[in-house]
Amino acid sequence: MIYQKNVPIWEQILRTTVGVAMGFYAVTAMQGTWLGYGLIAAGIALVVTGLAGWCPMCAAGGRHLRNGPQAGS
């Protein structure tokens, strides 16, 4: 594995669900607006981080899962 997961399972599910909901809302209610495009981009980012289990902003902040291979350090 190239990266170490830093998002717990419950948060992965939440990120994926909210990302899909944001994208659906943006496509149905905000067609062709800049805010709609922004919501689609944010929704895609949430879905990708939710499915991957790794968030670059959390990694930059030093977030680690407690049960990972480096839990003792």
Residue 16 lies in a domain: yes
Q: pLDDT (tens digit, 0 to 9) for every residue of the chain, 73 residues total?
A: 577 888 999 999 999 999 999 999 999 999 889 999 999 999 999 999 999 999 988 888 888 887 655 544 4
Residue 53 contacts residue 12 (beta carbons within 8 Å) = yes
**Do residues 39 and 25 touch, judged by C-beta distance below 8 A?**
yes
Domain span at 15: 9-60
Task: Summarize the chain as % helix, strand, coil (round to 5).
Answer: 60, 0, 40
Number of domains in the chain: 1
Residue 42's pLDDT is what?
A: 96
User: What is the pLDDT at residue 37?
Assistant: 95
Please say whether the dihedral angle defined by the alpha carbons of residues 46, 48, 50 and 53, taken in this order, is positive or negative.
Answer: negative
Q: Which amino acid is at 10?
A: W
Predicted local confidence at residue 71, as pLDDT: 44
- Asked whether residue 71 is domain-assigned, the answer is no
pTM confidence score: 0.80
Scanning the structure block, which residue is given the tokens 């709609």?
A: 36
